[in-house]
A and B are shown apart, each in its own frame.
Chain A
Amino acid sequence: MDIIVCIRRAPTTDARIKPGSDGKTYDPAGVNYDISEYDKFAIEAAIQLKEKHSGQVTIISMGPSAATKEIRTAIAMGCDAAHLLVDDAQHDSWSTAQVLAAKIKELPHDIVLFGWNSVDNQSSATGQMVAELLDLPSVSVAVSLEVEDGKAKVERLAAGGNRERYDITLPAVITCQKGLNKPRSANMKGIMMAKKTAVPETPANAPEDGVAVAGMTPPPPRPEGKIVGKGAEAVGDLVKLLREEAKVI
């Protein structure tokens, strides 16, 4: 089975983000990076499929050369090959999807896995856009995935905790959510292997963004809060404030 996983290098979730001097992108000072959280579920799903059906897992990432670090982490977990499409700028999901789709087209693929949402750009769009560009079925926010005989049974998380089941024919695009599996950590052998695996870099030639950022601002500060009181005696005052001051109940 040929399995492709698209992973994104993103600021860690504890990063402090503030607008940079261009007023459009964040100030990278002091920001650390990691594989975007949900992409780890996609990597784990890919490795489990390989273990069950044999085959090869290929990572594709668009980002700066520094993303080699995140790619090597994925290889150390158990992926086999990688392609880094180099671009130093931030792009929207439409531009990114076009770059990824063009690369995927060149490679054999039975299943293409994504995170359901990136922790930085948060579009939850890239996977579905790639599916559309490649004319493939897509199921997003997958929490269960079984593959047999060129078909996949996928469950996705819908509204109110409902799960919708889809039976689709491969090749297909699946975006992965927490709950699908428990991502493994890399072992020593994997880390050694990752050091030896080549990560070819080619220019991404990203097309123009579909939605362009005109400006970035910090969120409006929340007004100073107050401690209503201590213990159960304070609930009367709280209810009064919620009714009369905040008017939310």
Chain B
Amino acid sequence: MSNDVLVFVEFAEGKATKAGLQALGAAHTLAGQLGGSAIALAIGDGLEGEAGNLGKAGAGKVLLAGGDAVANYSPDGYASILAQQAEATGAAAVLASATPMGKDFVARAAAKAKCGLASDCTELKVEGGKAQAVRPVYAGKALVTVSAPGTLWATLRPNVFAEASSDNATTPEAVTVSFGPGDLKAVVAEIVAGVKGKLDVAEAEIVVSGGRGLKDPAGEGKQNWENLQALAEVLGAATGASRAVVDAGWRPHGEQVGQTGKTVSPKLYIACAISGAIQHLAGMSGSKVIVAINKDENAPIFKVADYGIVGMVEDVVPALTSALKEALG
């Protein structure tokens, strides 16, 4: 086994995603601790021009896999390439982002390599010369530190690891894709109901969430939800929701934050008219700063909030939007 760290860097529309650059940053740091270098793997066509940017973001080496077989995303295809490169590089650790894509194919890749997977990790460290990962379990009610007998495979929670900068000059190295499009078992046929470019709540740096106290958007809550949207817009935030809101059909379930929704760890989480049930807290208490707006000063959300305002969302949310507009100019 080498001291290098292999990292899958996710691309979207020809650019490395933020989560992908964060994973590369984590790989750069871990490789430094192990005495090796970060090897970035990108999959897709036409990415040669991006290799230099990956060098600046911490990659010591850049591997590119392109061609017909990867023209569309496929979990088994991507898994084959990652498992092959894990073996070829003899990496001490294999990293990727715990995004919808990473969560989908990296487990398959780890299984191909006959390895386990530490999912959705929030910390990486080196203990006795070996890589270890820390991951939340039971929706953040506990943290476990895990290690692997051989290569450590881990996916990393977005927004937790910092991007790196380096002066590595890299030239991309093409890797051979050993299968053709006809060998794939499951390939994306179509992007169906896509809101292109919409920020996923799990990857956003700022999240503004609404709860049952905002009331029915098809009725008396209409203005409240418009106000919430305006607040999110001025902050460049993604919108989230409590389960009560999702179950009522007021918001799509892709926005649900909590133990049975998405786990978020933004730098700022603003909870509006959310009570703070244990299942909701489980999904957002890893946020750096939490703001709560609630009319009930005894609401449990105030126990985890760094800053609270006791008041009606009808008044506080639009006032906050105006104040932010002014402050952010």
Contacts and interface: CB of A to CB of B under 8 A. Distances in A.
Interface of A: 11, 13-19, 24, 26, 37-38, 92-95, 97, 119-126, 128-129, 131-133, 136-141, 155-169, 172, 177-179, 208-219, 222-223, 225-232, 234-236, 238-239, 241-243, 246, 248-249
B116 A93 contact: yes
Contacts of A157: 100, 254
Contacts of A222: 285, 290, 304, 306
29 contacts: A92-B116, A94-B116, A122-B120, A122-B138, A125-B119, A128-B111, A129-B117, A138-B185, A138-B186, A139-B75, A141-B103, A160-B198, A168-B186, A172-B185, A209-B116, A210-B117, A210-B153, A215-B144, A216-B143, A219-B143, A225-B308, A227-B309, A235-B322, A235-B323, A238-B307, A238-B323, A246-B289, A246-B306, A249-B206
Contact of A235 (B101, B142, B148, B319): B319
A164 B111 contact: no
Nearest to B75: A138
Interface string B154-179: 00000000000000000000000000
B146 interface: yes
B306 A223 contact: yes
A178 B256 CA distance: 10
A214 B132 contact: yes
B1 interface: no
A185 B31 CA distance: 51
B190 A161 contact: no
Given A166-B189, A222-B304, A160 B146 contact: no
A223 B304 CA distance: 8
A14 B186 contact: no
B194 A163 contact: yes
B290 A212 contact: no
Interface in B88-125: 99-101, 103-105, 107-108, 110-112, 115-120
B85 to A, nearest CB: 16
Interface stretch (B37-45, B61-69, B215-223, B310-318): B310-318
Chain B, interface SS category: mixed
Nearest to B304: A222
Contacts of A234: 309, 311, 316
Contacts, number: 298
Nearest to A140: B104
Contacts of B192: 155, 162-165
A246 B305 CA distance: 12
A94 B111 contact: yes
Contacts of A168: 185-186
A125 B107 contact: yes
Given A93-B116, A243-B327, A129 B110 contact: yes
Chain A, interface SS category: mixed
B137 A122 contact: yes
Contact of B141 (A16, A94, A129): A16
B254 A161 contact: yes
Contact of B142 (A13, A169, A178, A218): A218
B241 interface: no
Contact of A219 (B146, B152, B285, B322): B285
B203 A119 contact: no
Contacts of B319: 232, 235
A132 B84 CA distance: 14
B203 A11 contact: no
Contact of A95 (B76, B116, B278): B116
B146 A212 contact: yes
Contact of A215 (B117, B145, B200, B253): B145
Given A16-B141, A211-B117, A214-B147, A232 B190 contact: no
A211 B147 contact: yes
